[in-house]
Amino acid sequence: MKILSLLQRRFLKHHSIVGFGIAAALGLLNATLIALPAQSAERIQFFVGPFEPTVYVDDLETFAKTGNIEPRLASFINRLDADQKASLRAFLNARYDISPIPVSQFTYSFLGEQLLQRAGQVIQTDSYLNGMKAIRASLILAAADEAGFTTINVMRQFPTDTIQLDFRLARKIAREGQQIFVERDEVVSKINQVAQAKASTQPKPLSANDPQRKGPYAWQVETITFQNSGRLESSQADVYAPISTTAEPDSIPVIVISHGVASDRRTFSYLAEHLASHGYGVVALEHTETSAEKLVRFFWGQDKAPDPIDLLLRPQDITAALDTLTDWQNSSRPPNVHQDVNQAVRNFNLKSVGLLGQSLGGYTVLAAAGAAIDWPFLSADCEMLPERPSLNLSMFVQCSLLQIPRNTPLEVADPRVAAVIALNPLASSIFGRSGIQQVEVPVMLVAGTDDYVAPALLEQIEPFSWLETTYKHLVIMERGTHFSFLDRENGSVVPFSDTFTGPNPQRARPQVQALSLAFFNQHLKKISEADMYLTQRYLNTFPTEPFKFTLVDELPE
């Protein structure tokens, strides 16, 4: 199998990703949309050509409560093995403590409506119409009902007696989903084989300078305020300043961190602290329109939904923060901060900075590094989205950019960017091949094989094949999800189930800390020996459970 030719086929199919829509929605709204596969008031009918097998909600409820299988349900349930039956009962009995306010807010938002529209193609009313509005009503009513938000109650709240499930469409989605997962596994397996074969020829990394270890510098943190001229409100950033009595002007390299949706400037504090301990100045931004605080206000009806213009304002936040720090350096009257922080900031090298971002932050740092938005390509891709039964959750975010006025300036690159790490970025349609090719600085893309929000094959592996920059790395994290690098205890407000988020993200911290430090050591500090830690041989020194990391500099043919 030739990976590049496979990616070309995927590209021509407009990046369809299937089979994970419900799970992705679950992650964004607690367990709200987990009930979607089995919605009905009294019965569920499966449309299969001339046949319409029926499942009754009463029978499902009896099975959930007692385990007894009514004769009408037997032909369905008896096809399941013991583990599957137990899982189904647990699913049917699960109760979620959720208010109708955030359910309503989400289901009336752009992203919520897009998800429900897709779900409604399969989950239809008794007159075979798209079930979007009926699904929305059942979710909100179930959340408000005294019986609680349970799968059975969501079924009961569906506003028609019968729900029609388009079984043929569901089966098509399942088959396409299975196919893309097979392709993903083939690509990842081939990349891993090539990486392991190359590992035997790579130099043995020096243990004395292992980048996963904490560095020698103490550091201080100060919160600063900066103003993006495109925003009405000011923004904040945490500045991590390494303490040094010997630093000179421009001697402290700087890394800017951009968080994803529903996170904040503290989400990657563990990484910022690690980099600061090795002598880096770190600027952890808070993007106000998509921050954790903003999302909390939105879900409780206290704020409007995030504006699509934020896709352009986010990279401009990077520029605004760097400009604020530059003004600080040039000012004779420093801000009211700790003396050590003031001295460190005055020695920051703001002329050549590194960027690191995750999810929407991954898009942000790529855009700031020169990746250009390809409006015609994005428009064409998004026009086809309603016609495809498949889902790539990140596409709804990417396509939201089309809501802004067409004459809006799209230039957001900052010439001070010297190197970029993008974790789980959204990149396929918003940039396309021509946009990604505009990036000229060193890039590291990091993908998780179990990422169902920004799927690895479409959003990282394929865009990596488009990069033409001289220095580039692709890191694949087996069993990694879209949330494997987040600090769940610090700076993220969305409650995720363990099934969706994957293994404990703390188990991935040593690898991401080491790879980030080695990458920036090579491209910002110009430490020649750093490249020995950007190898598969080095990654093989880490445990392979629960995560296994693979690194390549180019895709095999």
Task: Tell me the per-residue pLDDT of 510-547, one tens digit each, with 9 for 90 and over.
Answer: 999 999 999 999 999 999 999 999 999 999 999 999 99
d(CA 25, CA 46): 23
Radius of gyration of the chain (CA): 25
φ, ψ (nearest 5 deg) of residue 139: -65, -45
Report the chain's terminal Cα–Cα distance, integer Å: 8
CA-CA-CA-CA torsion sign (138, 144, 146, 149): positive
Question: What is the pLDDT, as a whole number, of residue 344?
Answer: 96
Confidence tier at 17 by pLDDT (50, 70, 90):
very low
Return the structure tokens found at 428.
Answer: 């396929």
Closest CA to 317 of 348, 290, 277, 344: 290
Q: How far is CA 218 from the centre of its chain?
A: 32
Give percent of the chain above pLDDT 70.
89
Question: What is the pLDDT, as a whole number, of residue 390?
Answer: 57
Confidence tier at 16 by pLDDT (50, 70, 90):
very low
CATH of domain 204-552: 3.40.50.1820
CB 355 within 8 A of CB 417: yes
Question: What is the pLDDT, as a whole number, of residue 6?
Answer: 56
Question: What is the pLDDT, as a whole number, of residue 392?
Answer: 78
Question: What is the pLDDT, as a whole number, of residue 437?
Answer: 98
Identify the helix (H) or strand (E) that includes residue 243: none
Task: Tell me the per-residue pLDDT of 348-360, one tens digit each, with 9 for 90 and over.
Answer: 999 999 999 999 9
Between 110 and 377, the higher pLDDT residue: 377
Question: What is the pLDDT, as a whole number, of residue 499?
Answer: 62
Instruction: Please state the domain extents for the chain.
Output: 3-171, 204-552
Question: What is the pLDDT, as a whole number, of residue 36?
Answer: 39
d(CA 435, CA 463): 10
Angle at 414 between CA 370 and CA 257, to 5 degrees: 90
Q: Is the pLDDT of residue 33 over 50?
A: no
Confidence tier at 28 by pLDDT (50, 70, 90):
very low
pLDDT (mean) for 148-167:
91
Identify the helix (H) or strand (E) that includes residue 281: strand 281-285
Q: Is the pLDDT of residue 298 over 60?
A: yes
Please give the C-alpha separations between residue 496 and each of 24, 148, 454, 500, in angstroms, as whole numbers.
10, 19, 16, 7
pLDDT (mean) for 10-36:
36
The DSSP output letter for 205 is: P
**β-pairing verdict for 123-124 and 95-96:** unpaired
Whether the bond between 510 and the residue before it is cis, its omega within 30 degrees of 0, is: no
Give percent of the chain above pLDDT 90.
68
Lowest mean pLDDT among 11-15, 231-235, 290-294: 11-15
**DSSP character string of 22-69:** HHHHHHHSTTGGGGGGG--SSEEEEEBTTB--EEEHHHHHHHHHH---
Closest CA to 471 of 514, 391, 541, 526: 526
CB 237 within 8 A of CB 283: yes
d(CA 446, CA 172): 30
pLDDT (mean) for 363-391:
88
Closest CA to 324 of 235, 253, 242, 409: 235
CA-CA-CA-CA torsion sign (108, 403, 448, 257): negative
Return mean pLDDT, the chain. 88
Please give the C-alpha separations between residue 540 and each of 477, 529, 554, in angstroms, as whole numbers.
13, 18, 18
Q: What is the pTM of this model?
A: 0.87
CB 377 within 8 A of CB 278: no
